């Protein structure tokens, strides 16, 4: 692993530069500094096209002034989350409105989803304290977690289960010493 260090003067210079650019954007010069809508849309679409987990999805990407609207449908919640993640992480994005609907290919009953989610939880020791309930495809998870990474890991794993259309996590964290 390589570490890169910058001097204090360079760090301060960078912060001042970002501050000045922010002031210019507030003064109405932001459009000259920002990515064009066409370029932003092309960058998002390029990433989507090169992401195999999004093959076969039907989502339209609309960009206006750096604001992005995602509209369409996917079969897995994880695909919706991935569209949103790609869009937010693309430079030039100001805001994202996700109107993506999760429509599973096959209907899965809530009891079956509960069993599938519990199977995921049982595979990971750090998630053993999580309780599960499912209502109309919405997975509700209650638990105590060691870290935020555990919450995100669980959310992505559950989102990969066909039939889950939304996830609500009520989390508590173990105190760190």
CA distance 32 to 89: 21
Average per-residue pLDDT for the chain: 86
Average pLDDT of 151-173? 95
pLDDT: which is higher, 30 or 49 = 49
Distance of CA 143 to the CA centre of its chain: 21
The structural domains of the chain, with segments of one domain joined by +, span 35-102, 110-173
Q: CA of 169: how far to CAs of 25, 117, 142, 151, 156, in Å?
A: 37, 13, 6, 8, 12
Model pTM?
0.78
Same fold, 35-102 and 110-173: yes
- Under CATH, what is the fold of the domain 110-173? 3.30.1340
CA distance 78 to 74: 9
Which has the closest alpha carbon to 94: 20, 31, 18?
31
Confidence (pLDDT) at 149: 93
CATH of 35-102, one of 3.40.720.10, 3.40.50.10320, 3.40.50.410, 3.30.1340.30: 3.30.1340.30
Confidence (pLDDT) at 126: 87
Confidence (pLDDT) at 171: 86
Average pLDDT of 129-145? 95
């Amino acid at each position: 692993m390589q570490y890169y260090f910058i001097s204090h003067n360079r760090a301060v210079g960078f912060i001042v530069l970002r501050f000045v650019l922010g002031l210019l954007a507030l003064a109405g010069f932001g459009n000259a500094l920002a990515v064009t809508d066409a370029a932003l849309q092309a960058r998002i679409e390029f990433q989507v096209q090169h992401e195999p987990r999004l093959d076969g999805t039907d989502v339209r990407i609309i960009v206006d002034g750096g604001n992005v609207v995602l509209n369409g449908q996917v079969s897995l919640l994880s695909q919706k989350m991935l569209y949103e993640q790609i869009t937010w992480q693309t430079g030039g994005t100001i805001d994202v409105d996700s109107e993506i609907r999760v429509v599973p290919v096959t209907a899965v009953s809530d009891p079956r989803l509960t069993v599938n989610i519990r199977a995921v939880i049982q595979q990971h020791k750090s998630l053993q304290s999580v309780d599960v309930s499912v209502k109309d495809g919405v997975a509700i998870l209650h638990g105590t977690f060691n870290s935020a990474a555990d919450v995100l890991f669980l959310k992505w794993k559950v989102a990969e289960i066909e039939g889950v259309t939304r996830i609500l996590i009520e989390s508590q964290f173990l105190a760190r010493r």
